[in-house]
Structure 1
Amino acid sequence: MAQIDAGMLQKSATWAESGRSPPQWCDAIPACRLRHDASGSEKPYRAATRGGSTSDNKEETMNDIKQIEERPILHHVTLKTTRMEEMLAWYRAVVGCVPNFRFEGGAWTTNDTANHRVALLQTPAIRNDPDKLHHAGMHHMAFEFATLDGLLANYARLAEAGILPHACLDHGLTTSFYYEDPDGNSVELQCDNFGNWNLSSEWMRTSQEFVRNPIGEECDPPKMIAARKAGMSVAELHQRTRAGEFRPAVPGDLHLPV
């Protein structure tokens, strides 16, 4: 798995201004997912993420998209924060969410049998200001499909309309495709890699692989679709995706400053 170039991070404007070094867990995030390069300029990322159409009549274009066959359910919300302990205490008190997994860069909390319902992320670069990319607030919301094939079928349906994800990852517990809405908010469409929340929750709590890499491995949906059509099992596809065999030719963008 590609690693962040430490020199690039050390030279970034954010770290230079603060005089701090990035936390060690940031090394798990591939450099291709950084939103800005060392000079602070925006990096290019996958196109057609906001609405997916260049048509003057976008409402008509959206109405032309094939009707969705499987409606995914809302699974979790992830928030960027500068007040980790306060946020954890508030969500525990208000909705009964407790951490299923914590590390220096975040926490995954749940109030039922799901692996997580409200997740929190923190990095020294996040601050409370009008900058949408960096401010404390929502990182993404998520909807879950029952199976990987359902997730891949929906990818194909949306891609046909020019709506493509800005990042795709196998997180270990889920396979997740991240889309950007017209306001620039990320929406994750996912499936549980274990097909069972109890099993994925247990994996999250106990897996040393997840401790080493809580962010995930990038994957390419068209390659995954081709593999499934060629007869590869879901289990083998997941294993080989985690091994880095289905990385995309065009890197994604996780919309997370570090």
Structure 2
Amino acid sequence: MTTTPQTEAGTGAAGTQAVALQLSELVLKTARYDDMAVFYTHVLGHGPFYERTPDPEAPPRPAGMPERAVDVRLGFFRIADAPHSQVFALFGVENLSETESSGPGLHHFQFGVSTLGDLISQHEHMASIGVRPHRAANHGQATSFYYRDPDRNIVEFSCPNFATFEEEVAFMSGPVFAANPSGLELDPDRFAARCRAGDPERELLRLDNRAVAM
């Protein structure tokens, strides 16, 4: 595996320049709006700042046009405000058919936390409503717990294992990550218990730490 240094802007074939972008909105379409809203209210620690139910008397959506905000039940949740707002949203759509999970589309999405302690706190927060991770892993550059929401989307909570982005990239450019980018599969409960017991992070995050491995 090779890594490419990130630049401020990319140059297109016609000499155009890419502007600096930030992921500012993620929208999930669901037929289980109420269940999903309860789940993500718990995940984020607050409910939607805006909700709307479509007007039953509104004109129908034009044939062939994807669902628009005016056509669906809406819920917008704030994630962060700086430097630009980051929003998570639900589009409630009736009569959705199940999709094939092995086909093209979203694989998973990630919420980042700042510290290992925050990651364990989020794990405990999810456990308080009986939601358990289906996977946990020390990837080397980051440690992550993975959950499924009511629609079976994979939701990742992750914290960095290094203090700087440069250290993270250096690790990802090395032979250990190239040989196994998945890292060490963790037993989430043992890992959380050892963290709460005060094991040093350097010890906890060793990729050969069998005491916390699956």
Taking the aligned partners of 2:41 and 2:105, their CA distance within structure 1 comes to 33
Taking the aligned partners of 2:41 and 2:154, their CA distance within structure 1 comes to 23
The aligned counterpart of 1:246 is: 212
Equivalent position to 2:110, from 138, 142, 145: 142
User: 1:186 Cα deviation (Å)?
Assistant: 0.9
Does 1:191 find its partner at 2:168?
Answer: no
User: 1:196 Cα deviation (Å)?
Assistant: 1.9
Does 1:68 find its partner at 2:45?
Answer: yes
Taking the aligned partners of 2:44 and 2:149, their CA distance within structure 1 comes to 19
5+ long unaligned stretches in structure 1: 1-56, 70-129, 249-258
TM superposition outliers: structure 1 runs of 4+ over 3 Å: 57-69, 241-244
User: 1:146 Cα deviation (Å)?
Assistant: 0.4
TM-score under structure 2 normalisation? 0.53
Q: What amino acid is aligned across from residue 165 of structure 2 in structure 1?
A: W
Compared CA separation, residues 182 and 58, structure 1 to 2 (3 A): closer
Equivalent position to 1:182, from 133, 150, 158: 150
Taking the aligned partners of 2:170 and 2:152, their CA distance within structure 1 comes to 33
Q: What amino acid is aligned across from residue 68 of structure 1 in structure 2?
A: G
Compared CA separation, residues 177 and 67, structure 1 to 2 (3 A): closer
- Root mean square deviation of aligned Cα: 2.9
Provide Cα deviations, 1:62-104, integer angstroms capped at 9, x if missing partner.
Answer: 59959839xxxxxxxxxxxxxxxxxxxxxxxxxxxxxxxxxxx
Equivalent position to 1:208, from 156, 169, 175: 175
Does 1:236 find its partner at 2:182?
Answer: no
TM-score under structure 1 normalisation? 0.45
- Is the contact between residue 203 and residue 209 of structure 2 (CA under 8 Å) also seen in structure 1? no
Equivalent runs, 1:1-258 vs 2, <5 Å: 68=45, 132-205=100-173, 207-239=174-206, 242-248=208-214
Between structures 1 and 2, the one with greater helix share? 1
Report how many residues are paired.
130
Compared CA separation, residues 159 and 170, structure 1 to 2 (3 A): same
5+ long unaligned stretches in structure 2: 1-33, 47-97
Taking the aligned partners of 2:105 and 2:37, their CA distance within structure 1 comes to 32
- Is the contact between residue 136 and residue 186 of structure 2 (CA under 8 Å) also seen in structure 1? yes
Taking the aligned partners of 1:215 and 1:242, their CA distance within structure 2 comes to 13
- Is the contact between residue 146 and residue 195 of structure 1 (CA under 8 Å) also seen in structure 2? no
Q: What amino acid is aligned across from residue 243 of structure 1 in structure 2?
A: N
Q: Identity, % of aligned pairs?
A: 31
- Please identify the structure whose Cα radius of gyration is greater: 2
Q: What amino acid is aligned across from residue 247 of structure 1 in structure 2?
A: A
